[in-house]
Copies of this chain bind each other. A is one copy, B any other.
Amino acid sequence: MTVGLIAGALTSMAAVPQLLRTLRTRHVRDISVWQPLLLFAGVFLWIVYGFLIDDVPLILANLIPLVCNGWLAVLKFRYRCNDEMPADRATA
């Protein structure tokens, strides 16, 4: 049970550092838009499934990745032209 909770917490929070990095650097060249789009669609359906089977933890656990991945997909489009500038923020 504890293992499952830790696993859920880790996979739920995984997109947060990527979102923070993207908001900070405003560079998205190396990010595939399909990862946030697929995760957004996937966790959206997990939330739908959570409602269907009345599972509140499943719904709550997927809200954070829903927001993060939706936001990342938007940023991928918004910042797509930023890499025509010199790669001045190319810190690893």
Contacts and interface: CB of A to CB of B under 8 A. Distances in A.
Interface string A13-40: 1110110111001011111101100110
A17 B3 contact: no
Interface in A31-76: 31-32, 34-35, 38-39, 41-46, 48-49, 52-53
A46 B7 contact: yes
Scoring A14, A49, A52 by chain B CB atoms within 10 A of each residue's CB, the highest score goes to: A14
A25 B49 CA distance: 36
Interface of A is mostly: helix
A17 B76 CA distance: 14
Given A10-B45, A28-B92, A31-B31, 19 more contacts: A3-B48, A4-B49, A4-B53, A6-B45, A7-B45, A7-B46, A7-B48, A10-B41, A11-B42, A11-B46, A14-B34, A17-B34, A17-B38, A18-B31, A18-B32, A18-B34, A28-B30, A30-B30, A83-B90
